[in-house]
Structure 1
Amino acid sequence: MQHLNFPKFSFRFKNSENKISIFDVLRKKFVILQPEEWVRQHCVHYLVEEKKYPKSLINVEKELIINTLKKRYDIVVFNPNGSIHLIVECKAPQININQDTFDQVARYNLKLNATYLMVTNGLNHYYCQMDFKNERYEFLKDIPEYTMP
């Protein structure tokens, strides 16, 4: 798999029926290693190991219904009170991040109301903080580390 713009992490892999899988520490199972999954797993490890978010507050690949359409978010980090702290949209490294990508995560956020948004293809990362009062987002250099409430 391609080298990504994240710190180096240790991953567990297995090969079954000529398909490589990677162990997801949140779902506690091996999942087929696709380019987007490679980015998602790096991002999960980044949030847990670098930003110190507890695994218990992170959710991956869950269904979301927006205007009767079934969608799936990549990563959501909850606050201890159940509100949503962060939504992460992961793309495969060969996918360019553009306005459509931001529009996608913004649509998800209309339903989820996260304070922070992150969009990444593993090579480029973009971080935003929501300004709900003015209905816009402000770009940040990084997302904040987890702090106990």
Structure 2
Amino acid sequence: MNKFKLKNKLKTFNGKRYVFCLIRKKYYLLTKEELVRQKIIYYLIKNRGYKVQEIYVEFNSTFYNIKNRLDILVIKKNRPFLIVECKSPEVKISSKSFDQIMKYYLRFKSQYLVLTNGIKTIIFEFKNDGIEFLKQIPKNF
């Protein structure tokens, strides 16, 4: 990912830092996970060509009576296209992370899944003959 420029996207209130979300159009507490989420959003829009209106952040869903909240869901042509699960940089990408995003896949059947902690990013695509690991998030076409 390219450098994420926080200039003009940060503000401080009562001694706490907040970051502006391009999708939700408001400021959120600047946690380490939120920074990772905002970097991915910025990357999707600025470097991969995704449109703001295609991206949903902290998308609430219920599957088998279990409530979930996806970090990022991209919808294209009225279908789930890409799911991103963001973790704080201190959280290692593990089988637990993989299990979490696979539950989202079972619910939404998106073509692409992305797991990231801002340091390590795993991108995979579901195809008829299995899963293919990718080096970068696909461009919007």
TM beyond 0.5: yes
Determine the structure 1 residue equivalent to 2:15. 18
1:39 partnered with 2:67: no
Amino acid of the residue matched to residue 31 of structure 2?
Q
Rounded to whole Å, the distance in 2 between the matches of 1:75 and 1:115 is: 14
1:60 partnered with 2:54: no
1:141 partnered with 2:138: no
Shift of 1:126: 0.5
1:51 partnered with 2:57: no
- 1:41-89 CA-partner distances (Å, limit 9, x unpaired): 000001000101111101100111122111100001111x210110000
Q: Which runs of 4+ in 1 moved over 6 A?
A: none
Pairing 1:1-149 to 2, within 5 Å after superposition = 6-11=1-6, 12-79=9-76, 81-131=77-127, 133=128, 136-147=130-141
Q: Secondary structure at the match of 2:131?
A: strand
Q: TM-score, normalised by structure 2?
A: 0.94
Rounded to whole Å, the distance in 2 between the matches of 1:84 and 1:55 is: 15
Structure 1: give runs of 5+ residues left out of the alignment.
1-5
Shift of 1:138: 2.2
- 1:9-51 CA-partner distances (Å, limit 9, x unpaired): 2221111111110000110000011110000000000100010
Rounded to whole Å, the distance in 2 between the matches of 1:27 and 1:60 is: 7
Rounded to whole Å, the distance in 2 between the matches of 1:120 and 1:144 is: 15
Structure 2: give runs of 5+ residues left out of the alignment.
none
Rounded to whole Å, the distance in 2 between the matches of 1:90 and 1:52 is: 20
Rounded to whole Å, the distance in 1 between the matches of 2:46 and 2:5 is: 11
Amino acid of the residue matched to residue 38 of structure 2?
Q
Q: TM-score, normalised by structure 1?
A: 0.89
Rounded to whole Å, the distance in 1 between the matches of 2:4 and 2:125 is: 26
Number of equivalent positions:
139
